[in-house]
Chain A
Amino acid sequence: MSETITDNTTKGVKHEEKRAVVILFAGDSGDGIQLTGSQFTETNALFGNDVSTFPNFPAEIRAPLGTMAGVSGFQLHFGSVEIFTPGDECDVLVVMNAAALKANISQLKRGATIIANKGGFDKKNLKLAEYIDDDNPLTNGSLDKYRLIQIDVSMLTRNALEDTGLGMKEKDRSKNMFVLGFLYWMYNRKLDSSIQFLNQKFGKKPEVLEANLKVLKAGYNYGDTSETFTSRYEVKPAVMPPGTYRSAMGNQATAIGLIAATQKAGLGLFYGSYPITPASDILHELSRHKNFGVKTFQAEDEIAAICSAIGASYGGGLGITASSGPGIALKGEAMGLAVMLEIPLVIVNVQRGGPSTGLPTKTEQADLWQAMFGRNGEAPMPIVSASSPKDCFYAAYEAVRIAVEHMTPVLLLTDGYIANGAEPWRYPKANELKPIKPPFAKGKNSEGAYLPYRRDEKGVRDWAIPGMKELQHRIGGLEKQNETGNVSYDPANHELMVNLRAEKIDKIADHIPPLVVESGVEEGDLLILGWGSTQGVIKNAVLELNEEGQKVGHAHLRYLFPFQRNLGELMGRYKKVLIPEMNSGQLRQLIRAEYLVDAHGLSKIKGVPFTANEIKEKAWELLEA
């Protein structure tokens, strides 16, 4: 992907043009790696590159300095071509210390560039990174197959801030800006966007602002003047569908989608939530938009979070809650209540590695079965999934639409990978968004008492809310008599109600678009069927397989329950079906059970996304068999 297109030399510095570059920033979790990465991303996106990012955090906020446990990473793939994933292997690795190098050296392409902060490879750092006998990889020749650029960032940063009144600690905090400045030089980027960002961030702390700006420029100028660097790179703007773009992170896009949908539905948004990694950013984002009438409520626990959302929905707002696996487990009983009440509710699960506390900061798709079956009794709930950071917007919007128009709780599955990743988004205009129509009761629906569980042709009941005259009614978790909603223990009625609730959910499939083959051939030898955050990497693999002459197609499921009506027919157009998942084969089992299709699986349960090569290898195995 990083092939050189042209190169020319001016003033002794070679200018190479690259189609795409994968760069990984790594350092201590306190080194400002995430900020450096996101700033470099923002600048490239604004420049017009297509981008995809993958932040990779340690679980501890401040793990011991200099250790492998404390390494934080931010991977960015940017290019003048369409980018689908944050990249399999890196062209450039930027490391702030020895541990960061050790943790990420296996991620490098042959001949990759390593930019190392020499100051992070002193005896102490080498020991902390457990290099045997403090053997320094920068000097022992072990990195000879790479292009190694050593810069003493720590020292140069301190020098740049020599005449400021800042202490050593404060000075060292700016060293990420030196690296950022240097990379801007290396990739011919302007500093404007980051200067603007720093002004906003540190506007109230002039000394800190000044220090950061100084170091940022020092890093840039260092590249320009030190004459040690012989290459600069150019990554031209990507050719993308025309339009206006912004950058979107997954959790942020989820929050915006929820707001947009409730606005279009004319409903107040109530968000009940308990902090949990990696879902908390949805709470943070929503709490910033109270001017949309958004009410956020940090509940005492996960159960209270969902129950408060149920209360809000009963009152005629849209109750929303989000969590990750362990929190979703706690919400199970309340989800069953919402199924029984038949009120709108959206439950977002930003999946992470499980079981139990598992891998809080790592990604996984292992909560699909939990979403399908994680309730007592027969409590079917629609499941919608998001496939990329920007897609979180559309998935959230669709989750709200289904919840409101079909009077049901809906599960929205995203995961840590796309929740924290970012990509350019050709965002829609408000008036392009599909309207959402809440089925509010329009008055009494019978001669006698109001019938809260009388249904329309979709199997959906009215939404009668407190304040509506003559529609007072009582609902609850006990089985209810058909139509009246009164408590009923009648055996035939119970079976009828279980069936009616299931039919209502099944009929949602009549109100969603059909599944399409999104890349590759429409029929052929192999269908790669995915769901969630594997979309980009599957697409990448399929396009390459097509280039290699293989008849492979890619379809990606937004709707995991109920399935789209044409899914069976679509799978039938291919000789084989492969389902790659970041779990042990959960969708695969659902597909096999529903369609009796002998789908093949590819599992990865390592807390990190698939690489395109992993998917291609499995595809080849099936194609050649």
Chain B
Amino acid sequence: MSEMETNSNGTPKMTGKDIASDQEVRWCPGCGDYSILKQVQTVVAETGVAKEDIVFVSGIGCSSRFPYYMDTYGMHGIHGRAPAIASGLKAARPDISLWMVTGDGDALSIGGNHIIHLLRRNFDLNILLFNNEIYGLTKGQYSPTSPEGQVTKSTPMGSIDHPFNPLALFLGADASFVARTMDRDPKQLRDVLQRADAHKGASMIEIYQNCNVFNDGAFFTYTDKKTKAESALFLEHGKPLIFDEGKKGIRLVDMHTEVVELGEDFNENDLWIHDENDRLKAGILTRFFDDPSAGFPRPFGIFYIEDRPTYEDKLTGQVERAKELKGEGDLDALLSGGQTWVHQ
């Protein structure tokens, strides 16, 4: 056996293949999930965390099959409840590296209540929300992110549901890390995953994922060569908001945003400089949510990062504090309680 290469912490160096399980991947051929799986496997392998110290938790839906394909610990939970399972697991085991995989139906419809509470409490975990704007596993009903008017199996006359703006919702729930990326942009996907893993707190990543069977092309505007430049805005901390191959930028004047042509009237110095620690501006960015043809491009990248204590650290802190104040629990003292009396 040859000497294994090791990380600085002594764990064996791994590649994405080392962390893939022996199970056959069973998503539809051509599904965007494959690309996400590959990037996640690569990033997780590179974190240097030992396989046995990693847990993937999921709910129900196509994306929630994810844990079966990772040679880590994993739990395929029940519909919508992955955030709650993850919360208890992290509270009990702050030491593990925790990843949660969910979808637009799982996280935003049946699990909508749990996702907001997971975020406000700020457990330290990485949340991958595969958004394909459709229910795939149940074969094609509209989801809470499907646009109004979408014709699906359950909306033959078009959906009349106003969709969620997921990132605005997450910011509203005080998420400490909010990002958006896409299955078809592996490089940015990898960068965002790495940043998310490095962030201590609940890292919420919305991943636009193409369902080639029930909702093919939902995000082609942002991936197709013809429209991508005009429609997608890639955020970088400290850099101006520029899109359309450098031709356009976004200006912020008195809390009012506008798209400007770069050239004679405006240059980079006039533009909004992205600050991923600015909550207010992150809020405005999440509102770039209309059809890009209406003017504003859809932003991708990290919208917001905030350092605040995690729930599990505060919980552990209280346990430690209680031990300081009262001493390590004494079972006999607990059993006898305060007042006792004796019968001879």
What's the Cα separation between A291 and B93 when bound, in Å?
Answer: 17
A435 at the interface (CB under 8 A from B): no
Q: Is the CB of A301 within 8 A of B113?
A: yes
**Residues from chain A with Cβ under 8 Å of B321 in the complex:** 290
Q: How far is the CA of A212 from the CA of B73 in the complex (A)?
A: 59
Q: A-side binding surface: helix, strand, loop or mixed?
A: mixed
Q: Would you call A347 an interface residue if the criterion is a C-beta within 8 Å of the partner chain's C-beta atoms?
A: no
Chain A 422-439 per-residue mask, 1 if CB under 8 angstroms from chain B, else 0: 000011111000000000
Q: Are A315 and B340 in contact (CB under 8 A)?
A: no
Kindly identify which residue among B92, B93, B327, B335 contacts A260, using a CB–CB cutoff of 8 Å.
B335
Binds B, one of A142-150, A398-406, A468-476: A468-476
Cβ-closest chain A residue relative to B58 = A476
Rounded to whole angstroms, the CA-CA distance of A487 and B68 in the bound complex is 9
Interface-lining segment among A202-210, A306-314, A594-602 = A306-314
Interface residues of A in 338-352 (CB under 8 A from B): 341
Is B124's beta carbon under 8 Å from chain A? no
Q: Are A308 and B84 in contact (CB under 8 A)?
A: yes
Instruction: State how many angstroms separate the Cβ of B43 from the closest Cβ of chain A.
Output: 18
Known contacts A295-B315, A310-B88: does B331 contact A263 (CB below 8 Å)?
yes
Set of chain A residues within 8 Å of B92, measured between Cβ atoms: 268, 270, 295, 311-313, 315-317, 319
Taking a contact as CB atoms under 8 Å apart, the answer to whether B327 and A246 are in contact is no
Interface centre among A294, A429, A469, A474 (most CB of B within 10 A): A474
CB-CB under 8 A from A502, the residues of chain B are none
B51 CB–A CB distance under 8 Å? yes
On whether the beta carbons of A467 and B74 are closer than 8 Å, the reply is no
Total inter-chain residue pairs, C-beta < 8 Å: 220
CA distance A470 to B72 in the complex (A): 9
Which candidate, A8-16, A183-191, A237-245, is the interface stretch facing chain B? A237-245
Find out whether the CB atom of A293 lies under 8 angstroms from the CB atom of B329.
yes
Q: Give B321's nearest chain A residue, CB to CB.
A: A290
Contact A475–B88 (Cβ < 8 Å): no
CB distance from B138 to the nearest CB of A (A): 15
User: Is the pair B76, A476 in contact by a Cβ cutoff of 8 Å?
Assistant: yes
Residue of B nearest to A50 (CB): B343
A470 to B52, CA, bound (A): 7
- In the complex, which residues of chain A have a beta carbon less than 8 angstroms from the beta carbon of B90? 311
Q: How far is the CA of A193 from the CA of B78 in the complex (A)?
A: 52
Interface assignment of B75: CB less than 8 Å from any CB of chain A: yes
The 0/1 profile, CB within 8 Å of B marked 1, for residues 485-505 of chain A is 011000000000000000000
In the bound complex, CA of A256 to CA of B240 (Å):
59
Is B8's beta carbon under 8 Å from chain A? Answer: no
Contact B339 A291 (CB under 8 A): no
A291 touches B85 (CB 8 A): no
* Pairwise interchain contact B87-A308, C-beta atoms closer than 8 A: yes
- Select A244's contact among B85, B322, B334, B340, beta carbons within 8 Å: B340
User: Is the Cβ of A315 less than 8 Å from the Cβ of B319?
Assistant: no
Which B residues lie within 8 Å of A270 (CB)? 88, 91-92
Complex Cα–Cα for A71 and B315 (A): 40
Q: Assess whether B343 is in contact with A243, with CB atoms less than 8 Å apart.
A: yes
A467 to B72: give the CA distance in the assembly, Å: 10
Contacts of B315 in A (CB 8 A): 295, 297
Contacts of A293 in B (CB 8 A): 319, 329
What residues of chain A lie closer than 8 Å to B318, measured between beta carbons?
290
B55 within 8 A of A: yes
A residues with a Cβ closer than 8 A to B are 42, 45-48, 193, 237-248, 256, 259-260, 263, 268, 270, 272, 289-295, 297, 299-301, 303-305, 307-317, 319, 333-334, 337, 341, 426-430, 449, 465-478, 486-487
Would you give 19 A-B contacts (Cβ < 8 Å), ordered by A?
A193-B339, A244-B336, A263-B329, A291-B323, A291-B326, A292-B329, A295-B91, A297-B87, A299-B117, A300-B117, A311-B84, A337-B78, A341-B75, A449-B22, A466-B73, A474-B70, A474-B76, A476-B74, A487-B68
